[in-house]
Amino acid sequence: MLLVGLDPTLANHTARRLQRAGYRVGVVGNEAETLIATERSQPDLVVLDVCPSGLIDLALFQRLRSRSYMPVVMLSAMADENDRVHGLNHGADDFVPWPVSPTELTARVASVLRRCGRPSVEESDGCVVAGSVTINERTRQVTIRGQPVALTALEFKLLLFLVRRPFTSLDRATLLEQVWGYTVGDGSTVTVHVRRLREKTELDPAAPTLIRTVWGSGYAFHPTG
C-alpha cells in the first residue's frame, strides 16, 4: 500500500494504524517518487492526496491508471462536491474530504480493499488458475469460462506470460523480448498475436475484458474479465 502526498502527521499516524492491521505501507511525497514506488512494488492500493495547487494533482492519478489497475482512494482538503463527483466518475474508488482522522481513513482503506479485492493467480501441479482462465502447462490445455480453447504455441506462451502478471501493464517491447526472445523487432508482431488471442479468448474481441489495452502503454490481463 502507498500513501502519496499526505500531510506528514496524517501519513505517519495512518501508516502505523495500517501496519498494526497487517498491511505493508510506503509513504512518498511527490510524483517522481510515486511512479518509481508503484513500478517497483505494485501496491495493492494507493491513497492519493489531490491538491490542485500543490505537488499532486489528478494527472498523477491518470498516469497511475495508465500503467496498471490499482484501487485509489483520493483525499483532498480543497475539493467541493463537484470535485468529488468528478474524481469518482473518473475511476477513484473512494474520495475522502479533509480533515479526516487516521482511524476513519484506515477504515475507508480497508473497505475499499474488501470491495476491490483482486483475484489471485493460483499455481498448483502444473496448473495456473486466474479467474475464469485455467492453463495446464504440462498438457498445454487452456480452458476459459469452462470451455476448451485451442492455441498455437506462441499464443499459449503469450497468454501464460500475461496471466502470471495480472493487472500489470506490459508494453510491446517487453512482450517481444520476454515471449519471443527478441531484443529488437517490430511491435506490430505483438499487436497481431494479441488480436488473434483475443479472437479465441474474449466473448467480444472488439470489447476485450480479459486482455485489455492500456492506452499509450501496452496490454494488461484482468482475471475479472
CATH number of the domain at 101, please: 3.40.50.2300
Distance CA(204)–CA(223), nearest Å, equals 16
Complete DSSP assignment for 82-99? HHHHHHHHTT-SEEEESS
- Cell 506528514 identifies what position? 8
Helix, strand or coil, per DSSP, at residue 142: strand
From the list 128, 182, 72, 200, the residue with the least C-alpha distance to 211 is 200
User: What pLDDT tens digit does each residue of the chain (225 aa) get?
Assistant: 888 888 888 888 888 887 776 677 888 887 778 777 777 767 778 888 876 544 456 677 777 766 666 788 888 776 677 767 777 777 778 888 878 888 888 888 878 877 766 555 777 788 998 888 999 999 999 999 999 999 999 999 999 999 988 777 788 888 999 999 887 777 889 999 999 999 999 999 998 989 988 776 788 888 876
Q: Are residues 101 and 182 in the same domain?
A: no
Q: Report the pLDDT value the prediction gives residue 54, as an integer from 0 to 100.
A: 44
Residue at which a domain ends, from 55, 90, 115: 115
Q: Report the pLDDT value the prediction gives residue 33, as an integer from 0 to 100.
A: 81
Residue at which a domain ends, from 51, 80, 115: 115
Q: Are residues 163 and 215 in the same domain?
A: yes
Structural domain that includes position 128: 121-221
Sign of CA dihedral 3, 6, 10, 12: positive
Q: Report the pLDDT value the prediction gives residue 157, as an integer from 0 to 100.
A: 96
Distance CA(154)–CA(164), nearest Å, equals 16
Could you give the dihedral angle defined by the CA atoms of residues 64, 66, 68 and 70, in that order, rounded to the nearest 10 degrees? 50
- The whole-model pTM stands at 0.53
- Cell 490481463 identifies what position? 221
Q: Are residues 100 and 128 in the same domain?
A: no
89: left (phi over 0), alpha (psi -120 to 50) or beta: alpha
Which CATH number is 202's domain given?
Answer: 1.10.10.10
Residue at which a domain ends, from 90, 115, 140: 115
Q: Are residues 101 and 176 in the same domain?
A: no
Q: Report the pLDDT value the prediction gives residue 22, as an integer from 0 to 100.
A: 62
Q: Is the Cβ–Cβ distance between 62 and 86 less than 8 Å?
A: no
